[in-house]
Amino acid sequence: MTDLLPLAVAVPLLAALLVTALPRQAALLGVLGAAATTLAAGAVLTAVWLNGALTADLGGWGVPLGISMRANGFAAALLAMTALVALATSVYATGYFADSPKAVHFWPLWLLLWASLNALLLAADLFNLFVTLELLGLCAAALGALTGSADAVKANLRYLLVGLLGSTTYLMGVALLYSAYGALDIALLAEHIAAGGDENNAVDAAALTLMTVGLALKAALFPLHFWLPPAHANAPAPVSAALSALVVKGAVYIIVILWLELFASVATASAAMVLGLLGAAGVVWGSWRALRAARLKLMAAYSTVAQIGYLFMFLPLIAATPPGPARDNLFAALVLMALSHGFAKAGFFLAAGLVQQQAGHDRIDDLGGTAQQMPATTFTIGLCGSALIGLPPSGSFIGKWLMMQGAIEAGQWWWIVVLLIGTLLAAAYTFRVLSRAFGLEPTPLRFVTDARSEIPALMLALTAVGVLGLAAGPLWTLLGLGAGGAA
Amino acid sequence: MSRDWSLLLGMLLALLACVLLWVLHGALMDQPGPRLADLAAANVPYSGVSNPVTSVLLNFRAYDTLLELAVVLAALLGIWALGPAVPGFQPSGPVLASMVSWIVPLLILAGGYMLWVGGHAPGGAFQAGALLGAAGVILRLGGDPRAGLPDETMQRWLAVAGTAVFTLVGLALAAAGEGFLTYPTDWAKWLILLIETAATIAIGVTLAAAYVGGRP
C-alpha cells in the first residue's frame, strides 16, 4: 500500500525519461504517461479516502536517518487537482503542439514538472522539499521559455533566478533548523519545536522567516509577485495553465504546512496578520492590474496574483480561531479556494491560448469577432470567470462565504472589505472580456469547433464551477480523515 | 541603481548577515554535537559501502539523489529546448590535438577509478561523471564539434540512463516486496554500483552535451 506514494512520482518520472529517449512518439507516449500518472494519483486519493493518511519509509531506514513520504487529506486533494489539471493540459497540448517542433521539448520537461509536483506534495522531509523545489523551478522556467521569443526568454530567466533566490533562502532556514534540532522530517521537527519552548525562539523565528520569505517569492505573494505576470503571460498556453494553476500552489502548499503544522507552536497571530495583509494587498493590486491589462493572458496572470492573495488571507483567520468546527471550516475553505482557482485558472489559460491561436493576438479590445467564432471557448472563459469572481455555485463561492463567516466570528471585519473589493474587481475584469462576445458578428452553429483543445478546457471550467461547488462536501471528509494537526 | 542605494542595500544585507550569524551561533551553542552523523556512521556497515558519503547519497537518502539526477537531466532538456547548438570551434593545432589524445583516455580511466573508489573512499558517480564531462569539454576545445558524443538518439538514451536505472531499481525492489529503494543488505553493494555506473555515464554525457550547448 505504501508503495503507492513513490509510484506517484516514479510513473511520471519514467514517462518523462521515455519521451526524452523516443522523441518521435513524444505526444503518444506523453498522453499515455499522463493517463498512467492520473491513475497513480487516483490510487493515492482512494487510499487516503479509505484509510486516512499514508506514509512510506524510503530505504527502510525510518526517520530521522532516511527519508519518508506521506499523503494526508490536504496533499491528496492537491495531488488529485494536479492530476486532473495536468491530464486536461496534456490532451490540450497534443492539439496545441500538433505540428510544432516544440512538442519534442515540451513533453519531457512537462512530465518532469508533473513528477516534481507530485514529489513536492508527497514529501515529508524539509530537504527533500528543497530538491523538489529545485526540479520544479528548473522545469517551469525551461517550459516558460519554450516559445523562444526574446520576451519569454528574458521573463523566464528572471523567473529562474528569482526561483533560485527563493529556494536558497528556504534552504538557509532548513539549515538553521537542522543545526538546532538535528532532524529534517516535518513531523519529528514539529515535535521538537513544540517541545523546545522558549529555548530556541530566535532560531525558530529566523527559520520561519527565511523559509516563508523564500517561498513567498516563489508563490508570488505581493510585493514579491513582480516576476509572475511577464513569465506566465509569455509562456505557451498549456505551460501558463500549469504555472498559474499548479506551480505557484506548490509554494503555497509548503507555506501552509509550515504555518499550520511545523511551526504551529511558534507562529503567532500577529505574524500571520502580516502575511494576511500582504495577501490582501495582493488581492487589490492584482485585481486592479488585471482590470487594466491590455492582453488576455496578462490579465489572467495578474488575476493569479490576486487569487494567491486570498489564500494568504486565511492564515490570520485560522490563527485567530480556536480549534474546532469553525477552524476546520476555514482550513477546508482555504483548500477549496486553492482547488477552484487551480481548475478555473487552468481552464482560463487554455481557452485564452485557443483565442490567441485563432486571432493571432490576445489584445482584449480587438477580440470581438474571434470570441463569437468559438462559442465553447467563450463559454469556458465565462465559466472560469464566474469561478474567479466567486459566483455560486462555484467552489470559490463557498470558500469566500466561509472566509466571511470566519472573519465575522474572529472580529476581523477588514478582510470582508478586501473580499468585496476583490470580488467586484474580478467581476469587472471578467465582464470586460465577456462583453467582447456580444457583438453583431455572425455566430457559427457549431458549439465546439476543435474538440481536442476545447473540451479539456471546458472540463476544467465545469469542475471548478459545478463539481467543486455542488459537491464540496466530500472534501471535508477527506481533510477530516487525514488532515491531522493541520486542520 | 545609484551609488547611495547600493550602499544602503549593502548595509542592510550586512545587518541581515549579522543577525543570521548570531542566530546560527545560538543554534549551534544550544545543542552542540554531531546530530545525525553518529546515527549515520553507526549504520554505514549495513549500507553496502564503507564510504559514509556514498552511503548517505546512495542509500540513506537515495531518493534525494534520484531527484537530483532528474535536476541534471532537466537542465540539459532546458538547454536543448532553447535551440540548436552554436557552430563548433576551428580545428586545433597539432600540439593541442596530440595532448587531447593523451588526456582524454586518462580522464576516462580516472573516471572509472573514481566510480569504483567511491565505495570506500571519497569519490562516486558525480565526481566520475564530472571527469567524463571534462573529457568531452577537452575534446570540444580540441576541435571535435560533437565533443566525442554519439548521435542524437544514443545521446538521449545515455542522458536518461542514470535516472532510469535508479528508478527501475527502486521499483523492482518495491515489486519484490522490499519497498521503494530499500536494498537488501547482501545486494546493496552491487545495486549501488549498478546505479552509480549508469549515473556516471549519464552525468558525463549530460555535462558534455550541456557544454556543446544546444540541440544535437
DSSP A61-104: --TTTSEEEEE-HHHHHHHHHHHHHHHHHHHHHHHHTTT-TTHH
Residue A37, CA distances (Å) to A6, A84, A281, A332, B54 in order: 12, 10, 37, 26, 31
User: Is B188 at the interface with chain A, CB within 8 A?
Assistant: no
Asked whether the beta carbons of residue B60 and residue A66 sit closer than 8 angstroms, the reply is yes
Asked whether the beta carbons of residue B180 and residue A119 sit closer than 8 angstroms, the reply is no
- Assess contact for A364 and A296: CB atoms under 8 A: yes
Nearest to A403 by CA among A386, A420, A387: A420
Q: Which residues of B touch A159 (CB under 8 A)?
A: none
Q: What is the pLDDT of residues B156-181, one digit of tens each?
A: 999 999 999 999 999 999 998 888 98
- Assess contact for A218 and A140: CB atoms under 8 A: no
Interface predicted TM-score (ipTM)? 0.92
pLDDT at A251: 95
Q: Compute φ and ψ for A57, nearest 5 degrees.
A: -95, 110
Best of B71, B76, B171, B187 to mutate (most A CBs within 10 Å, chain A): B71
pLDDT at B113: 94
Those of residues 83-102 in A touching chain B at CB distance below 8 A are 102
The grid coordinates of residue B18 equal 549579522
- Count of positions (residues) in chain A: 487
User: Is A197 at the interface with chain B, CB within 8 A?
Assistant: no
Instruction: Tell me how close the Cα of B86 comes to any Cα of chain A, in angstroms.
Output: 16
Q: What is the CA radius of gyration of chain B?
A: 22
Q: What is the pLDDT of residues A429-474, one digit of tens each?
A: 999 888 877 766 666 667 777 777 888 888 888 888 878 877 777 8
A185 strand-pairing partners: A125
Contacts of B185 (CB under 8 A, 6+ apart): B46, B48
Residue A50, CA distances (Å) to A42, A47, A80, A477, B149 in order: 12, 5, 15, 10, 51
User: Is B42 at the interface with chain A, CB within 8 A?
Assistant: no
Q: What is the pLDDT of residues B80-131, one digit of tens each?
A: 988 777 776 677 778 888 888 889 999 999 999 999 998 888 888 999 999 9
Residue B182, CA distances (Å) to A8, B37, B117, B150, B196 in order: 17, 20, 23, 34, 16
- Assess contact for B124 and B57: CB atoms under 8 A: yes
Q: What is the mean pLDDT of chain B?
A: 88
Q: Compute φ and ψ for A182, nearest 5 degrees.
A: 65, 35
Instruction: Tell me how close the Cα of A354 comes to any Cα of chain B, in angstroms.
Output: 23
Q: What is the pLDDT of residues B42-76, one digit of tens each?
A: 888 888 888 888 988 989 999 999 999 999 999 99
Measured distance CA(B130)–CA(A244) in Å, rounded: 36
Task: Count Cα neighbours of B206 within 13 Å in the Cβ-side half-sphere.
Answer: 28
Asked whether the beta carbons of residue A58 and residue B62 sit closer than 8 angstroms, the reply is yes
Instruction: Tell me how close the Cα of A136 comes to any Cα of chain B, in angstroms.
Output: 9
The grid coordinates of residue B48 equal 553496502
pLDDT at A246: 94
Instruction: Tell me how close the Cα of A142 comes to any Cα of chain B, in angstroms.
Output: 5
pLDDT at A197: 65
- Assess contact for A72 and A121: CB atoms under 8 A: no
- Assess contact for A209 and A263: CB atoms under 8 A: no
Q: What is the mean pLDDT of each run of 10 residues along chain A (487 residues)?
A: 85 95 90 95 92 87 88 93 95 88 91 96 95 95 89 91 94 90 89 77 88 94 90 91 94 94 86 93 95 91 94 93 87 93 94 87 80 83 91 89 91 92 93 79 70 83 83 79 37
User: Is A59 at the interface with chain B, CB within 8 A?
Assistant: yes
**H-helix or E-strand spanning residue A56:** strand A54-58
Q: What is the pLDDT of residues B189-204, one digit of tens each?
A: 999 999 999 999 999 9
Those of residues 167-186 in A touching chain B at CB distance below 8 A are 172, 176, 178-183
pTM of the shown model: 0.93
Q: Which residues of A touch B27 (CB under 8 A)?
A: 176, 179-180, 200, 203
Q: What percent of chain B has pLDDT over 70?
A: 95
**H-helix or E-strand spanning residue A54:** strand A54-58
Asked whether the beta carbons of residue A21 and residue B28 sit closer than 8 angstroms, the reply is no
Q: What is the pLDDT of residues A122-137, one digit of tens each?
A: 999 999 999 999 999 9
Task: Count Cα neighbours of A237 within 13 Å in the Cβ-side half-sphere.
Answer: 30
Instruction: Tell me how close the Cα of B67 comes to any Cα of chain A, in angstroms.
Output: 7
The grid coordinates of residue A238 equal 498549456
Q: Which residues of B touch A65 (CB under 8 A)?
A: 36, 39-40, 43, 60
pLDDT at A198: 65
